[in-house]
Structure formats: structure tokens, C-alpha cells
Chains A and B, each alone.
Chain A
Amino acid sequence: EVQVVESGGDLVKPGRSLRLSCTTSGFMLGDYAMSWFRQAPGKGLEWVGFMRSKPSGGTTEYAASVKGRFTISRDDSKSIAYLHMNSLKIEDTAVYYCSVRLRYFFDYWGQGTLVTVSS
């Protein structure tokens, strides 16, 4: 059974760092592209960034709003993907979702983890 579970969300002060984890099971994470999305309270969905599958080079792409501050990495041996977030801003407050492109598109999502950036 495919499972995607985010963790690591927390209340942090502006300028601090945080690492989110996306723990997966039921498939080989490295064989698939994965992406992070976010949703600010009461707002719509926003793409944060993604990592291509290992066969496709495992390269990453980011939204302009997070480029240079956020980094996606992956530990295939543990089937965990990470979102490293530096220099956090108040506007980064959101529920962060991890999603995997298993079959047709980003079709398997976790339940999300809440990041609150506040002084």
C-alpha cells in the first residue's frame, strides 16, 4: 500500500530554518518524481518545488518565491524526501504537502504538515 506522510512542521521565528520530512512506503521513492506544495491558511494551492526521479537525473526545480532558500533532497535508502527551509518568512506560513508522481501525475499526497512562521 502506498503511503506518504509529512512531518516536521513547527512554529518558528522569522529567519530561522526548518526541515520537513516526507516518509514514503509501498514503492521505491527514487524511481519517481516528487513534489512539495503548500497552502497558506484559507488560501489556494501553491507549488513549492520538485525533484525528478533518479532515472531522470534527480534534479530539482523551485518556485521563485522559495528559490535560494528552500532545498529538496532525498534519501532513497530510507524512502524519505526532505524540504530544507532556510531564512523563513512570515509568508511561508502554510500547510506543506508532499506528493509523488506514481502513475499519471502528482497523484499520491500526504495529509500535510503545518509550518507557522511568527515572532
Chain B
Amino acid sequence: DIVMTQTPLSLSVTPGQPASISCKSSQSLLHSDGKTYLYWYLQKLGQPPQLLIYEVTNRFPGVPDRFSGSGSGTDFTLKISRVEAEDVGVYYCMQSIQLPLTFGGGTKVEIK
């Protein structure tokens, strides 16, 4: 199984400041079709996960442009340029290049 490792475990951010979450996979997520199958989800308290980013860099429609994804191969990053109060929750990375689909352990983002 592909292991997804997220760091940090938690993050406390002042509103308006940037935040960055790292996700590393145990195998490359680059498929022979040229796509990289890495996704980012945000789960707010008491809610289901919501898709933020698909295929490393693409924002899901409606996701604010302060969210951006980057990376390649096995190393990926989710950045929030200016954290807002509504961004609190747990962020998960996920891979779908290989079954079983696997998630990172999550990064909890809170506001200072």
C-alpha cells in the first residue's frame, strides 16, 4: 500500500498569515498517462470532507484562490496564502494511483 505522510500534525496560524502543509508518498504518484493522482481535502468539524485540490494543482470549482497545491513525484505541498477563520479544520492528502486509495493522517489547522 502507498503510505501518505503529512506534516505537521497541527498548525496554529494567525489570520492573514500563510500556512503550508506537506504530504509525502511512499511511491511516485505520477502515472504513465502523465497525470499525478494527488488530492487535498478539508474536513471541517462535524462535516464530510470537501475536495479542495485535484491532481496536485487544480482547484475544485468554488475553492478560493488563496489555496494552492504544488509538488511532483512523491513530495507535495498545500499552501494557504492568507489563512481565514473559515479555513480551520483537518486537511488530508490522498492518492488514487494505486489501490487501496490511501489518505495522509491529517493536519489540523487552527486559528491563533
Interface of A is mostly: strand
A44 touches B105 (CB 8 A): yes
User: Interface residue tally of chain B, by bracket?
Assistant: 20 to 34
The interface-forming segment of B20-28, B79-87, B92-100 is: B92-100
Task: Tell me whether B100 and A47 are in contact (CB under 8 A).
Answer: yes
- Is the pair B100, A109 in contact by a Cβ cutoff of 8 Å? no
Cα-based distance from A109 to B52 in the complex (angstroms):
13
Report B-chain residues with C-beta under 8 Å of the C-beta of A1: none
Please state if B96 and A46 are interface contacts (CB–CB under 8 Å).
no
Interchain CB contact (< 8 A) of B99 among A45, A61, A97: A61
B102 proximal to A (CB < 8 A): yes
- Is A106 close to B, CB under 8 A? yes
Is the beta-carbon distance between A44 and B103 smaller than 8 angstroms? yes
The A10-24 residues at the B interface (CB cut-off 8 A) are: none
A47 to B48, CA, bound (A): 14
Residues of A within 8 Å of B, CB-based: how many? 21
Contact flags (1/0) for A27-56 with B, using CB distance below 8 Å? Answer: 000000001010000001111001000000
Q: Shortest beta-carbon distance, A97 to chain B, in Å?
A: 5
Closest to A61 in B: B99
A45 & B96 in contact (Cβ 8 Å cutoff): no
Q: Kindly provide the distance from the CB of B88 to the nearest chain A CB, expressed in whole angstroms.
A: 17
Are B105 and A64 in contact (CB-based, < 8 A)? no
Apart from A64-B100, A103-B60: 15 A-B pairs, beta carbons within 8 A: A37-B49, A44-B92, A44-B104, A44-B106, A45-B92, A45-B94, A45-B103, A47-B103, A63-B100, A97-B48, A104-B54, A107-B54, A109-B49, A109-B50, A111-B48
Q: Which 4 A-B residue pairings sit nearest by Cβ, starting from the closest?
A: A109-B48, A47-B101, A104-B54, A107-B51
